[in-house]
Amino acid sequence: MIRRLLTVLEPPEAALLRRTVAGLLICAVLQGIAFALLVPLLRELLGDGGISGALPWLGALAAVFAGYAVAYWSSTVSGYRTGAGLSRTLYHRLGDHVSTLPLGWFTAERTGGLAQLSSKGVIAVMGVPAHLLRPVITAFVTPLVVVALMFAFDWRLALASLVTLPLAAAAYRVTGRAIDGQERAHEAASAEAGGRVIEFARAQPVLRAFGRTVHGHRELDDALAAQRASGRRLLLRAVPGFAAFVFSVQFGFTSVLMVGTVLALGGSVDAPELIALLVLAARFVEPLIVAADLGATLRIADGALNRVQTVLTTEPLPEPAVPAVPSDPADTSVELAGVSFGYRPGSPVLSGFSLRVPARTMTALVGPSGSGKTTVTRLVARFFDAEEGQVRVAGVDVRELGTEALMSRVSLVFQDVYLFDATIAENIRLARPEASEAEFHRAARLARVDEIAARLPDGWDTRVGEGGTALSGGERQRVSIARAILKDAPIVLLDEATAALDPENEHAVQDALAALAADRTLLVIAHRLQTIASADRIAVLDEGRVAELGTHDELLALDGRYARYWAERSRAGGWRLTAAPETAP
Amino acid sequence: MPGTTDQQQRPAEHDPPGSGAGTTEKAPVAIGLGELLAPVRGRLVLAATLQALASVASVVPFIAVAELGVVLLAEGPDGFDRERAWWVAGIAAATMLAGLGLTLAAGALAHLADNDISLDLRRRLAAHLGRVPLGWFTERNSGLVRTSVGDDVSAMHHLVGHTVTDLTRAIVVPLVSLGWLFATDWRLTLVTLIPICAGLALYARMTGSASARAGFEEYGRALARIGSASVEFTHGITVVKTFGRSGRAHRRYTEAADDLSSFFLRYVRSMFRTSAASELVLSPVFLLLWILGVGGAFVSRGWADAVDLLPFALLGLGLTAPVLGLGYSFDEIRKARSAAERVAAVLATEPLPEPAPGTESEPLGTTVEFDRVRFGYDDRSNALEEVSLTLEPGTVTALVGPSGSGKTTLARLLPRFYDVTGGAIRIGGTDLRRLPAERLYRLVSFVFQDVQLLRASVRDNIALARPDATDEEVHAAARAAQIHDRVRELPGGYDAIVGEEARFSGGEAQRLSIARALLADTPVLVLDEATAFADPESEAAIQDALSRLAAGRTLLVIAHRLSTVADADKIAVLENGRIVESGRHAELLAAGGRYARSWAIDERSGRWAPTAAAPLTPEAAQ
């Protein structure tokens, strides 16, 4: 664990950590020596020396305490500093590294895990040098020092105290292995129960509406009962092991006591010496048991550190050493040439996919879900790199263009809009902080965000809440479009919203999109019929290839997939709801 | 938190019905910790008793060792008192064994009690959640459910599993030790207590001072800041990266990290002197030095016997450990307490009132009547004001209006997501509040945009309302909802588990939920029209399914596109929580009011499309 900590730390902090550990070791050793001093001290006090004989030893004890205090002081200070430095380093390294990862890495699951890791995980790791190392080191080192010194006084008693070690170690190991499986089972059962709880809450309307009231959701109750059963099994499995550990630790005390009594009664060991050694043996028991308790906390921190390392070792998106520069600055075309790509090996989403979007034209992507529409736009924005073939923007392979140059040319307007917990104005401005007031207001007006700001209590300074929860879905889209307008990139990748908006919002969003689309190269995942029909070209995707390509009229004339799709969608668009049975046109 | 409201044990009984939505905001903690833990109280008392015995037993070996010293030092002319020596050694070994055994038993008992109370609390929470108003389940509260049922109940672990026994030990061990020490030599006992009291006083001053508390709170805020900065950084990174500004969110995040780090240093430094002094004074090394030094002085003056120092060297060192241990787990205890409070707060949420037995009444017919309905989500403003509307059996009524006009709220009152705050909703002449929930939901079902499928077999999902439905009935419903063929293609068919073996697209899930409603076959149906357009890939299939579902029922439709409901029997136009117009499509167009204007906007937006060819000037966009 310490070695692992050293690998993630910067050199000055690593030195600090080493100093902390050294200080803690000194503390533990001095503590052991202090305990061992009891032997001569008690020998003098209880024996013939009396107080005058004990004085030098008391002096020695005082000296040890002084050393202990200094080591304690400095190791605590450096422990805190290491902890603080550790958290700073881990946050910075996580932040820096995560910024270089491909956009495709950020799935919902990963971002959730990462947020958890960087809030709770780092704090847990930070606690290791600050709080956790001391009791652990003390628990193991002090008894060892005491035993070593006991050999100097009486090897038989020292040996008697040692019988405990192999027993305790074996018990610790066996228990660990025995509960390992149970622990995993319990974790799985808890996760299952957690999932059922969320489902229960989320599906409450449906459960209740279909008569599953109070005791209706059997699956939840089963999962909760299973969670309890696995917890119980874990406990019952852990108790004998823990008992074995505790008893083997105390067996050391008992054996010193018994052997010591025999020896003392036989006259081969002095009473004061025995008493002192018994005090030492008794002092053993507690720290070891504390250490066993701390094991769990230490494991949590270790797990977090492990996950931090996993993130830090994830391959970043390769960047070109010297970014290529497009030969024609006015070229804003997008092209995919013979591209193959899959999220999992063996199941390609795109295979040999080719499509060219000439500069300043609009191409609509149409096709069933799973046909690869989203993947195409993600590859252009370099969420991932293609496995085969080339993705070219402005005539240059995106891998050679470099992230910065690529991002300066492309705007993304996707369905899941993330807004920062800041004001509306700040959320828009982040697209181009150096933009003038006039440019900002123009973008906001074109995206019709000015109407939203006018309605809100604090106007442009209204905070939108984490993730933009204070705004409706349509309003969030408008803010995201305003961002794209302000950014003013020549290429726009647009994923049209599927969810229905109320008429006002829908109208506003469409106005905003029109403003964004003007004079740009557009690649649109299109859902609305009007959008599709107005595209310069329509690409019908099927199973990772372009099945049909052409203008609306050309494709209708082809009477293929697109024509069927169009007919069906048109019929759906005119649908009217009535209570009279079967009035569909 | 002293006295968290045992006096509020009873939730206010005279609250108006349907104020459930409001109570979540103020969330009175009406349930005390004692009541939460009542089911395991007996076992906890037993665990505490065992721990008390264990604590006494754990002190005895030290006393015995001291006694052994006395025996061995008192070597008479005829040698040691062997018998007494073995007795004492035997007692030491036996009591240590007994102490550890009892400690283990107490710990195991407390942990088992914790395991059981966890189940009990989770069941209570689930049962309670099954009775709170549906409207309570907002996004925020769903998160609350997850944390309370999952994390908070787990966080109470320390309170049940450890605190009871730790506290017992922290009280009994010092008491027994001090008792014995006083009996041995009261003056030396007082001397021993000096550093201990000084250390504990320092410790108390450190944790209890106003600046420490302020620092602790500040630390909590710094933690919260880094938490939200982390969430923002990780969730927002795709946004900032696409704007080529990784620096921005990144800066906020690293600033929060640096703040936390430097605050942590400042905070521990401010307390460091006191805490280090306290820990050093209480450290075994110092106590040893103190006891033997001062004790030595006592001996040399003849105030005490050297042998009498033994119990002090043995017991004095052990006095502080349990108390300090309690101090270390203080943070855990605090977290557990606030977790318990949150659990109690959820349990204190007011359930939707059910009619008292004997006051139910049976509806005559299925005419739905909104009678001067008033409703507000909070006390400040009303979302609905004096809304009166009648749904005749077998007719379609559409609710239209801008977002925020109250149409969704009004529709949700019918399946009792909330209760009205004024007026009444009646089915067949019976007030909804006098219908038992089961009866109500046999009359009213709903299909909304957010589909809720359970992680259960496809069959169980469809047959949710009627688990006893035959396979034929389930298949017929699926066929009518245009999802039968898709289900048949699944490897497990109707037995495939949703979310595991079967993954459905939005439109397919929508059709499954329609099949569910078809099988439930209620006479009244509340429908969100957006459902029909929720998935562009399968609009036509969903619409056919919806048409079948609507046939012959009393329908209340939340409409977003006016064209869809142009054939409705009645269209009610809402604005600011009131019905401003109602009638048939043609009548409303002729009236030239709000509806006619919306219709015009709707028509216009239907013709628009983005084009790269036609550059748009700012003026043209207005």
Tell me what pLDDT residue A440 has: 93
From B69, B228, B537, residue closest to A275, measured CB to CB = B69
Query: With 80 as the cut, is the pLDDT of residue B7 above it?
Result: no
Specify whether the CB–CB gap between B126 and A203 falls below 8 A. Answer: no
State what percent of residues in chain A have pLDDT above 90.
21
Residues B583, B539, single domain; the answer is yes
Q: How many angstroms separate the CA atoms of B480 and A553, rounded?
A: 35
In a domain, B485, yes or no: no
Which candidate in B138, B144, B242 is best for mutational testing of the A interface (most A CBs within 10 A)?
A: B242
Task: Tell me which of B475 and A464 has the higher pLDDT.
Answer: B475
pLDDT tens for residues B381-413?
788 999 999 999 989 999 998 877 888 889 989
Tell me what pLDDT residue A467 has: 63
Mean pLDDT of B107-135: 88
**pLDDT confidence bin for B5, thresholds 50/70/90:** very low
Specify whether the CB–CB gap between A183 and A191 falls below 8 A. Answer: no
Q: What is the 3-state secondary structure (H, E, C) of B355-387?
A: CCCCCCCCCCCCCEEEEEEEECCCCCCCCEEEE
Q: In CATH, what number is assigned to the domain containing residue B179?
A: 1.20.1560.10
* B residues 367-386 closer than 8 Å to A (CB): none
Give the three-class secondary structure for A178: helix
**pLDDT confidence bin for B615, thresholds 50/70/90:** very low
Tell me what pLDDT residue A499 has: 62
Specify whether the CB–CB gap between A474 and A501 falls below 8 A. Answer: yes
CB contact (8 A) between residue B608 and residue A511: yes
Residue B299 CB contacts under 8 Å (≥ 6 apart), including other chains: A45, A50, A51, B305, B306, B309
**pLDDT confidence bin for B301, thresholds 50/70/90:** confident
Specify whether the CB–CB gap between B511 and B479 falls below 8 A. Answer: no
Q: How many angstroms separate the CA atoms of A577 and B10, rounded?
A: 49
Residues B194, B90, single domain; the answer is no
Distance from CA of A162 to the nearest CA of B (A): 17
Mean pLDDT of A54-80: 92
**Residue A167, φ and ψ in degrees, nearest 5:** -65, -50
CB contact (8 A) between residue A577 and residue B248: no
Residues B43, B150, single domain; the answer is yes
Residue A237 CA: distances (Å) to CA of A126, A183, A228, A242, B296 = 32, 10, 14, 9, 50
In a domain, B428, yes or no: yes
Residue carrying the six token digits 């409303």: B588
Report the CATH fold assignment for A1-154+288-316.
ABC transporter transmembrane region fold (1.20.1560)
Two tokens at B420?
Answer: 């009205």
CB contact (8 A) between residue B126 and residue A197: yes
Per-residue b or e along A506-532, where b marks 16 or more CB atoms closer than 10 Å to that residue's CB:
bbbbbbbbbbbbbebbbbbbbbbbebb
Mean pLDDT of A503-514: 76
Q: How many angstroms separate the CA atoms of B485 and B478, rounded?
A: 8
Q: Which CATH number among 3.40.50.300, 3.30.200.20, 3.40.50.20, 1.10.3720.10 corresponds to the domain A334-573?
A: 3.40.50.300
Distance from CA of A483 to the nearest CA of B (A): 9
In a domain, B621, yes or no: no
Name which of A201-210, B2-11, B88-97, B441-450 the model is least confident about. B2-11
Tell me what pLDDT residue B24 has: 36
What is this model's ipTM?
Answer: 0.75
Query: With 80 as the cut, is the pLDDT of residue A370 above it?
Result: no
Residues B322, B445, single domain; the answer is no
From A200, A510, A577, residue closest to B396, measured CB to CB = A577
pTM for this model (two decimals): 0.75
List strands edge to edge, sheet with A388-393: A350-357, A334-341, A388-393, A396-397
In a domain, B282, yes or no: yes
- Please give the sequence-ordered ranges of beta strands (E in DSSP) within A289-366, or none if there are none: 334-341, 350-357, 362-366
The most confident of the ranges A433-437, A503-507, B16-20, B329-333 is A433-437
Query: With 60 as the cut, is the pLDDT of residue B609 above it?
Result: no
Query: With 60 as the cut, is the pLDDT of residue A255 above it?
Result: yes
Distance from CA of A159 to the nearest CA of B (A): 18
Give the number of other CB atoms < 10 A from CB of residue A165.
Answer: 16
Per-residue b or e along A406-417, where b marks 16 or more CB atoms closer than 10 Å to that residue's CB:
bbbbbbbbbbeb
Mean pLDDT of A12-24: 88
CB contact (8 A) between residue B618 and residue A445: yes
pLDDT tens for residues A111-166?
777 877 777 788 888 888 888 888 888 888 888 888 888 888 888 888 888 887 78
Q: Which residues of B touch A470 (CB under 8 A)?
A: none
Residues B190, B55, single domain; the answer is no
CB contact (8 A) between residue A579 and residue B569: yes
Strand pairing report for B368-375 and B422-427: antiparallel
In a domain, B375, yes or no: yes
Distance from CA of B340 to the nearest CA of A (A): 18
Mean pLDDT of A46-72: 88
Mean pLDDT of A257-281: 82
- Total structural domains in chain B? 3
pLDDT tens for residues B137-154?
765 666 677 777 777 888
How many interface pairs between A and B have CB atoms less than 8 angstroms apart?
A: 509
Specify whether the CB–CB gap between A425 and A506 falls below 8 A. Answer: no
CB contact (8 A) between residue B72 and residue A578: no
For CA atoms B504, B506, B511, B512, give the dihedral sign. Answer: positive
Task: Tell me which of A546 and A253 has the higher pLDDT.
Answer: A546
From B119, B272, B402, residue closest to A502, measured CB to CB = B402
* B residues 150-189 closer than 8 Å to A (CB): 150, 154
Mean pLDDT of B44-53: 95
CB contact (8 A) between residue B241 and residue A103: yes
Give the number of other CB atoms < 10 A from CB of residue B613.
Answer: 12
In a domain, B613, yes or no: no
Give the number of other CB atoms < 10 A from CB of residue A120.
Answer: 15
Query: With 60 as the cut, is the pLDDT of residue B19 above it?
Result: no
Q: How many angstroms separate the CA atoms of A227 and A344, rounded?
A: 33
Query: With 50 as the cut, is the pLDDT of residue A314 above it?
Result: yes
CB contact (8 A) between residue A34 and residue B285: yes
Tell me what pLDDT residue B619 has: 39
Q: What is the DSSP letter of B12?
A: P
Distance from CA of A352 to the nearest CA of B (A): 24
Query: With 80 as the cut, is the pLDDT of residue A284 above it?
Result: no
Two tokens at A498?
Answer: 């599927």
CB contact (8 A) between residue B551 and residue A531: no
Q: How many angstroms separate the CA atoms of A159 and A312, rounded?
A: 47
Mean pLDDT of B529-553: 80
In a domain, B292, yes or no: yes
Residues B422, B544, single domain; the answer is yes
Domain segments of chain A as ranges? 1-154+288-316, 157-268, 334-573
Residue in chain A lying closest to B86 (CA): A261
The domain of B390 spans 368-452+522-605
**pLDDT confidence bin for B614, thresholds 50/70/90:** very low
**pLDDT confidence bin for A313, thresholds 50/70/90:** confident
pLDDT tens for residues A460-487?
888 877 666 677 777 888 888 898 889 8
For CA atoms A318, A323, A324, A325, give the dihedral sign. Answer: positive
Strand pairing report for B524-528 and B554-558: parallel
Tell me what pLDDT residue B76 has: 66
Two tokens at A421?
Answer: 């917990």
Q: Which residues of B touch A245 (CB under 8 A)?
A: none
Q: In this structure, which amino acid lies at residue B406?
A: G
CB contact (8 A) between residue B146 and residue A194: yes
Query: With 50 as the cut, is the pLDDT of residue B288 above it?
Result: yes
Query: With 80 as the cut, is the pLDDT of residue B482 above it?
Result: yes
Residues B235, B330, single domain; the answer is no
**pLDDT confidence bin for A180, thresholds 50/70/90:** confident
B476 touches chain A (CB under 8 A): no
Specify whether the CB–CB gap between A393 and A334 falls below 8 A. Answer: yes
CB contact (8 A) between residue A421 and residue B254: no
Query: With 50 as the cut, is the pLDDT of residue B16 above it?
Result: no
Tell me what pLDDT residue B102 has: 93
Q: Which residues pair with B528 in a beta bridge?
A: B558
Residues B320, B292, single domain; the answer is no
The number of residues making up chain A comes to 585
Q: If we measure between CA atoms, which residue out of A406, A428, A418, A538 comes closest to residue A487? A: A428
Which candidate in A91, A182, A285, A374 is best for mutational testing of the B interface (most B CBs within 10 A)?
A: A91
Q: Which residues of A touch B609 (CB under 8 A)?
A: 510, 528, 530-531, 533-534
CB contact (8 A) between residue B567 and residue A577: yes
Tell me what pLDDT residue A500 has: 58
Q: How many angstroms separate the CA atoms of A433 and A403, rounded?
A: 19
CB contact (8 A) between residue B293 and residue A58: yes
Q: How many angstroms separate the CA atoms of B611 and A526, rounded?
A: 12
Residues B230, B274, single domain; the answer is yes
Tell me what pLDDT residue A191 has: 80
Tell me what pLDDT residue A156 has: 86
User: Rounded mean pLDDT of chain A?
Assistant: 83
CB contact (8 A) between residue B150 and residue A194: yes
CB contact (8 A) between residue B321 and residue A368: no
Residue in chain A lying closest to B328 (CA): A131
Query: How large is the angle between the packed helices A11-46 and A50-99, nearest 10 degrees?
Result: 160
Query: With 80 as the cut, is the pLDDT of residue A577 above it?
Result: no
Residues B261, B383, single domain; the answer is no
B561 touches chain A (CB under 8 A): yes
CB contact (8 A) between residue B226 and residue A119: yes
Distance from CA of A65 to the nearest CA of B (A): 6
Tell me what pLDDT residue A583 has: 41
**pLDDT confidence bin for A178, thresholds 50/70/90:** confident
Query: With 70 as the cut, is the pLDDT of residue B120 above it?
Result: yes
* B residues 388-447 closer than 8 Å to A (CB): 394-396, 398, 402-403, 415, 417, 437-438, 441-442, 444-446
Residues B31, B105, single domain; the answer is yes
Q: How many angstroms separate the CA atoms of A290 and A292, rounded?
A: 5
Residues B546, B594, single domain; the answer is yes
Query: How large is the angle between the packed helices A561-573 and B539-550, nearest 10 degrees?
Result: 30
CB contact (8 A) between residue B552 and residue A581: yes
Query: With 50 as the cut, is the pLDDT of residue B613 above it?
Result: no
